[in-house]
Amino acid sequence: MIEFYRKWAEDYDHQMLQELGYTSPTTIAQLLSEHLTDTRSSIFDIGCGTGLTCVYLADKGYDNLDGIDLSQDMVRVAGQRGIYRELLVGDVNQPLQRGDECYDAVISSGTFTHGHVGPQPLDEIFRILRPGGILACTVHDELWESMGFRAKLESLVESGVAQCLSQEMDSYYRDSPPGSVTLMK
């Protein structure tokens, strides 16, 4: 996976945005900004890649943006944008090297998908969210049940750790079938 993204890092934005019409990063960032209006809020971008999701937030004035990605090359490209306060190379399937309740929001687009990340990091994500903090993420619809996202999120709601603010179906790519977009706190 790391080798794959190393080779793709420089051309990722062009291929995803121009050739494939990747809309998911903008959609999820817009949804978060509608529910988190304070632009001073601290936001952690899980699986930040080249930073496409936070470009929208930065353009709207959000400037306390941190990110993490497994690929050093993708993080390097994200860093060239100049929008992140801190960028980390790390595996989100491992404990996040962040303190408890230190972020107002966590955002993630395209990370909870085939061959990437399953629902296991959700406990860590809610650990680093402040009370009332928001998780805005995409989960590929065909993985919602089969990889256990639905069961994990339902267990977080049942245990009182989270509540679902919104769950919608939206397209990941221009002119493609919808996938799941979830907003929780």
Amino acid at the residue 106: V
How far apart (Å, rounded) are the C-alpha atoms in residues 5 and 13? Answer: 12
**CB distance 13 to 50 below 8 Å:** yes
Domain ranges of the chain: 2-184
Q: Selecting from 3.40.50.1000, 3.20.20.70, 3.40.50.150, 3.30.9.10, what CATH number does the domain 2-184 have?
A: 3.40.50.150
pTM for this model (two decimals): 0.86
What is the C-alpha separation between 92 and 70, in angstroms, rounded? 8
What pLDDT score was predicted for residue 165?
86
Q: How many CB atoms lie within 10 A of CB 6?
A: 14
Per-residue pLDDT of the chain (185 residues; tens, 9 = 90+): 565 555 555 666 666 656 666 677 888 899 999 999 999 999 999 999 999 999 999 999 999 999 999 999 989 999 999 999 999 999 999 999 999 999 999 999 888 876 678 899 999 999 999 999 999 998 877 778 888 999 999 999 999 999 988 887 766 666 766 655 545 54
174 burial level (CB within 10 Å; 0-12, 13-18, 19+): exposed
- What value, to the nearest 5°, has the Cα angle with vertex 178 and ends 118 and 4? 45
